Amino acid sequence: MARKVLVMGEVRDSSLRNVSFEAIAAAKVMAEGGEVVGLLVGESVASLGSELIQYGADRVITVEDALLATYTSDGYSQAVLAVMEEESPEALVFGHTALGKDLSPRLASKLDTGLISDVTSLEEAGGNIVFTRPIYSGKAFEKKIVTDGLMFVTIRPNNVPALEKDAARTGDVSSLSVAIKDLRTIVRDVIRKATQGVDLSEAKVVIAGGRGVKSEDGFKPLQELADVLGGAVGASRGACDAEYCDYSLQIGQTGKVLTPDLYIACGISGAIQHLAGMSNSKVIVAINKDPEANIFKVADYGIVGDLFEVVPMLTEELKKLKVNA
């Protein structure tokens, strides 16, 4: 059954986030030969439309307004609902990001439809699109299908591979004028506390520190290793509570949920709340002085040792490999 699928492209610092391209790949499966329409909402986003098309969108609609320069659920929901009314798609795809997790339930309520959130894979089977999502903090998975009405899903970053970019691919980028009004919230200023560099939620490699790093300075060797691997630094709640780092780095049930290709846990004991945020990583390496630490139960590779000795050694060896490559 061919469908029109609307995909929300997410912009950060004037660039499209990778999850936008992964959402297009998911939309291609859901469309089953139908049309994939990208949607960009913001103040000056039209120039990014061609990139969505290069990653698989058939065309792109933009909604631009100075009131949409920074995200608010009021403003963005007005924009998306106006496009929904204009296009009447059969399916809607968002990234399961901070924006997607805030906006999608609001829209589902206004549209009086169901929502399948945090999808990690999808496939066509027996005439249905089957969505897989984790439950019970990642201890189990459930499969869902939509039998009637709008198919509305959010995709977890780093789980659905994006399509290969085709620079020669072209399509229409059009704008829709929407009167954004009656906003209950206006963002006057944004103060960023997150670290610069690779976006933690989309990083392919994550080096995470726990209470075992002992201090704020203890994160420096982790950052150096992350820089060598082109990854990002994260933390357990214990490290954040001890004020070794900012809470923007927290990974776990009450923090970010990640699925990187490589996760290196340094000085992390492996509390169940932390495992909920990283246990689905493709490869997990644990470094801990305690051979009985719970983190070793989920690790693919374990190193029993002092992280302040092991991490610098890993960093130096990896530097040599890069030089000789």
Would you list which residues are annotated within the binding site for FAD?
A: 211, 236-237, 250-254, 267-274, 288
**What is the spatial distance between Cα 280 and Cα 140, in angstroms, rounded to a whole number?**
11
Closest CA to 280 of 250, 254, 306, 300: 300
**Are 72 and 80 contacting, i.e. CB atoms less than 8 angstroms apart?**
no
Q: Return the sign of the alpha-carbon dihedral for residues 269, 273, 276, 278.
A: negative
Q: Which helix (DSSP H) or strand (DSSP E) does residue 132 occupy?
A: strand 128-135
Angle in degrees, CA 186, 175, 171, rounded to 5: 135
List residues bridging with 141 in a β-sheet.
Answer: 134
Q: State how far the Cα of 292 lies from the Cα of 58, in Å rounded to an integer.
A: 53
Report the chain's C-alpha Rg in angstroms.
Answer: 21
Angstrom distance (rounded) from CA 218 to CA 15: 32
Strand partners, 301: 285
- Angstrom distances, CA of residue 256 to CA of 153, 215, 250: 19, 21, 6
Residues annotated within the binding site are 211, 236-237, 250-254, 267-274, 288
The first and second tokens of residue 13, run together, are 């610092």
Distance CA 235, CA 240 (A): 7
Q: How far apart are CA 186 and CA 188, in angstroms?
A: 6
Tokens coding 40? 């960009």
Q: How many CB atoms lie within 10 A of CB 13?
A: 7
The two beta strands, 11-12 and 15-16, are antiparallel
